[in-house]
Amino acid sequence: MQNLTRIEAAAMEHCGGAPMIDQVIAWSGINSGTRNLAGLDRMARLLADAFSLLPGVLDLRDPAPVDAMASDGSLSPVGHGANLHLRVRPEAPLQLLFTGHMDTVFGSEHAFQDVFWRTEKEVLGGPGVADMKGGLAVMLAALRAVEATPIAARIGYEVVINSDEETGSAGSAALIAEASLGKRAALTYEPAALPDGTLAGARPGSGNFSLFVQGRSAHAGRNPEEGRNALLAAADLALRLAQASRPGLKVNPARIDGGGPNNVVPDKAVLRVNFRPSKPEDEIRARTLLDEAVAAIAAEHDVKIRIHGGFGRPPKPIDPRAEALFGLVRRCGADLCQEIGWRDTGGVCDGNNIAACGVPVVDTMGVRGGAIHSEDEFLIVESLVERARLSALTILRLAEGDMP
C-alpha cells in the first residue's frame, strides 16, 4: 500500500478477512433462490442482524406488487421477499448509495446447494459465494472500516439489499429509485466482470415481454380454415422479432407456451422474448419494433395479441461522471497495489437502474471469482480483503472530495 493517509491506513487494517469468510460460508449455506420465500426471509433476518452493527435506521421493506403471465394468458401475483434498507446520517454533506442482492439463481430444488473448499488453494465453491454473498460481506466490512474513522461523520448513505435482482428487481426497483435520490455516487457489489478483478463498464438495457396470442380453435381435419392458429402466429412473431436483431439491439425469442392435441387448431399461445438495447434510443426503437410487429402479425393471422412486461433495466452508458468515478476507483486500486481496469459487458444489474436515476455507479465492487449462475461458481478468498479495502478507500476519498 502507498500514498495513504494515517486515517486511510488505519481503515485498511479494519478490513480483516476472518469475519468475511465465515459470513460467506454461513450465508451461502442458506438457499435464497428468488422464489424461495422462506429462505429469503431467513437470509433477510441474518443480514439485518449483521448490518445492525452499523449506525442508522434499518428495516425490512415489503416488495412492490408484481404479476406474471401464465401460459393461458392470465395474470397472477408473484411473491417476492422483503428488501433490507438502511439509512445512515441523512443530514451529512456527502450522500452515497450501496446496493446488493440476497437472492441467487439456485432454487430450493436445485442440486447445487453445498459450500465447499475446492482443490485450488483458497478457492471456495458454492451457490452465491461470488454472486453475491461474498459481495455483501465485502460491503459490510468496508462500511464498518469507514465507520471506525473520524471521517465517517461527513458521510451519509443508504444500503439496499434486495431479494429479486436475479429476476429483474421488479419488486424492488421503486425502492432503489427512492434510495438513489440526492446521491453523489453509488457502489454495487456484483462480482468482478473477470476473475482478475476487471470491473464492468457500460451495460445494455433489458426488457422482458410475454405476448399472449388469442386465436380460435377448430378441428384440424374437418374445418381448420375456421380456426386461427395461435401457435403459428406466435412462431411467426418470434421469427419476425429475431430477424430485427442488429447492432445496438439484440432480440431473443426465448420460449413459446401453447399448443395441444394434434387434431385441434390451438387457440392460445404465449411468446416470451427478451430485448437488449445498447442505448436509450435503442430502447425506444425496440418498443416501436415490438408494437409494429405485433400489429402486423395480428392482422396477417387474424388473431388478438396482448403485451405484458416492459424494460426493467435501462441501458447504462458511461458518461463523464461515471468515468470520473471509475477513475477514482482505479487510483484507489493503484494505491493498494491492485490493478483495476474495466470493460463493457452484455449483462445487466441494479447498476442499470441506479445510473438511470442520474447517479454515477461502479457496479462490480464485489469479489473476484467466476462461473456465476453455474454449479462451478467460485470465490477467490483473498479478494474479500482486497475488495473491502478498495471500497473503504474509495468511500474515504469521496468524502475527501477526490472526485469532481
Instruction: Please give the CATH superfamily to which domain 6-203+316-399 belongs.
Output: Zn peptidases (3.40.630.10)
Q: What is the pLDDT of residue 307?
A: 98
The yes-or-no answer to whether 6-203+316-399 and 206-313 have a common fold is no
The residues, any chain, with a CB within 8 Å of residue 105's CB and separated by 6 or more, are 33, 34, 131, 166, 373
In the chain, the N- to C-terminal Cα span, in Å, equals: 24
Cα–Cα dist 268/72, whole Å: 7
Q: Are 132 and 103 in contact (CB under 8 A)?
A: no
pLDDT tens-place string over residues 167-184: 999 999 999 999 999 999
Model confidence at 86: pLDDT above 80: yes
Looking at the DSSP bridge assignments, the partners of residue 161 are: 84, 100
Q: What is the pLDDT of residue 18?
A: 76
pLDDT tens-place string over residues 24-56: 999 999 999 999 999 999 999 999 999 999 999
CA dihedral 244, 249, 250, 255 (to 10 degrees): -70
Cα–Cα dist 161/387, whole Å: 18
The residues, any chain, with a CB within 8 Å of residue 92's CB and separated by 6 or more, are 153, 154, 155, 156
Handedness of CA 184, 182, 95, 356 (dihedral sign): negative
Model confidence at 1: pLDDT above 80: no
What nine digits make up the cell of 332? 484507489
pLDDT tens-place string over residues 248-273: 999 999 999 999 999 999 999 999 99
Cα–Cα dist 150/143, whole Å: 13
Model confidence at 340: pLDDT above 90: yes
Q: Are 109 and 35 in contact (CB under 8 A)?
A: no
Looking at the DSSP bridge assignments, the partners of residue 271 are: 211, 256
Q: Average pLDDT, stretch 179-199?
A: 96
Report if pTM > 0.85: yes
Q: Average pLDDT, stretch 374-401?
A: 97
Class level of CATH domain 206-313: alpha beta
Instruction: Say whether 142 sits in a helix, a strand or coil.
Output: helix
Q: Are 83 and 40 in contact (CB under 8 A)?
A: no
- 2, 103, 146, 276, 278 from 287: Cα distances, Å: 50, 29, 44, 11, 13
pLDDT tens-place string over residues 294-319: 999 999 999 999 999 999 999 999 99
Cis check: omega of the bond before 132, within 30 degrees of 0:
yes
Q: What is the pLDDT of residue 17?
A: 76
pLDDT tens-place string over residues 92-151: 999 999 999 999 999 999 999 999 999 998 999 999 999 999 999 999 999 999 999 999
| Domain extents in the chain | 6-203+316-399, 206-313
Q: How confident is the model at residue 16 (pLDDT cuts 50, 70, 90)?
A: confident
Q: What is the pLDDT of residue 404?
A: 67
Instruction: Using the structure block, give the residue that is written with the C-alpha cell 417476492.
Output: 80
User: Given the DSSP bridges, would you call strands 94-101 and 185-188 parallel, antiparallel or unpaired?
Assistant: parallel
Cα–Cα dist 192/384, whole Å: 12
Q: Are 223 and 251 in contact (CB under 8 A)?
A: no
Q: What is the pLDDT of residue 403?
A: 76
Residue 232's closest CA among 297, 281, 184?
297
Residue 206's closest CA among 242, 241, 244, 252?
252
Q: Average pLDDT, stretch 278-305?
A: 97
**DSSP secondary structure of 236-274:** HHHHHHHTT-BTTEEEEEEEEEE---TTB---EEEEEEE
Question: How are the residues of the chain apportioned to helix, strand and coil, as percentages rounded to the nearest 5?
Answer: 35, 25, 40
Q: What is the pLDDT of residue 32?
A: 98
Residue 253's closest CA among 238, 268, 231?
238
Q: Average pLDDT, stretch 202-216?
A: 98
